[in-house]
Amino acid sequence: MTQHRTPLVEMKNISISFGGIHAVDNASVDLYPGEVVALLGHNGAGKSTLIKILSGAYKRDNGEILINGEPVQISNPRDAKGYGIETIYQTLAVADNVDAAANLYLGRELRTPWGTLDDVAMEAKAREVMGRLNPNFRRFKEPVKALSGGQRQSVAIARAILFDARILIMDEPTAALGPQETAQVGELIKQLKREGIGIFLISHDIHDVFDLADRVSVMKNGQVVGHARTQDVTKDEVLGMIILGKVPPGAIAGPGAMQTA
């Protein structure tokens, strides 16, 4: 169905190596508007690395990135943000020593006509966004350090959606969260999807993934094993892809697929 439209993001034949190790090897993934694509794989399979190339944290060695069909050059996080790509990192990339509003606007501060920081306006907007995301959030004046894991996560998510992202990358967004907060994040993902935002969801919890994702792409040893629509495959088949690299009939094999003898 979606296959006839132009993909929002297309990463083609991406490779990157660190000191001779092919962290990502000839990997291709794509993402359509309003779609959630889960990237699955073991630790060290190359999911995070692949996605960091898209978010501008790493520079690819080979391959190309197309956004709305146009080839783009992404060489730093600012470039990525310019294309509406926002990232929520696994490591919760927040500055611990400043407050929530400062983190939300980090790198894109609101300023008064005199060029000074408009803290009050930033705090007002932060209260609004956080009120939508996590109504229990009150601690606007405290450094983020003082917050719980879930609260910090909601700060990180709020930062990503604050600036009208079109492409959202979520690297293990629920890793630090309790069950209730995880459910909240799930709701949020569905809401963002309805708004037409494309989401890359990185996870190694396939239960999460089957609830939220439209498609899965599985990586192993830096290569794409294959991808499939979630309705065409079972959890066990996806597990087989993750662990063995075995591609089930409902999936399309990639370069990393197990060679059937």
Q: Which residues bind other proteins (CB under 8 A)?
A: 55, 57, 76-78, 81, 87, 89, 91, 93-98, 102, 106-109, 111, 115-117, 120-121, 123-124, 127-128, 131, 138, 140, 143
The strand pairing partners of 111, in sequence order, are 117
Min separation Cβ 254 and other proteins, Å:
28
* Cβ neighbours of residue 159 closer than 8 Å, sequence gap 6 or more: 86, 88, 94, 103, 104, 106
When the beta carbons of 48 and 230 are compared against other proteins, the nearer one is 48
Q: Are strands 223-229 and 9-18 parallel, antiparallel or unpaired?
A: unpaired
When the beta carbons of 69 and 149 are compared against other proteins, the nearer one is 149
When the beta carbons of 74 and 212 are compared against other proteins, the nearer one is 74
- Element housing 201 (H / E): strand 198-202
Closest Cα to residue 176, out of 198, 210, 147?
A: 147
Min separation Cβ 198 and other proteins, Å:
20
When the beta carbons of 119 and 237 are compared against other proteins, the nearer one is 119
What one-letter code names the amino acid at 50? L
When the beta carbons of 109 and 214 are compared against other proteins, the nearer one is 109
Min separation Cβ 89 and other proteins, Å:
7
Min separation Cβ 98 and other proteins, Å:
6
CB atoms within 10 A of CB 63: 17
Are the C-beta atoms of residues 84 and 166 closer than 8 Å to each other? yes
Min separation Cβ 117 and other proteins, Å:
5
Are the C-beta atoms of residues 60 and 15 closer than 8 Å to each other? yes
When the beta carbons of 88 and 189 are compared against other proteins, the nearer one is 88
CB atoms within 10 A of CB 212: 19
Min separation Cβ 157 and other proteins, Å:
14
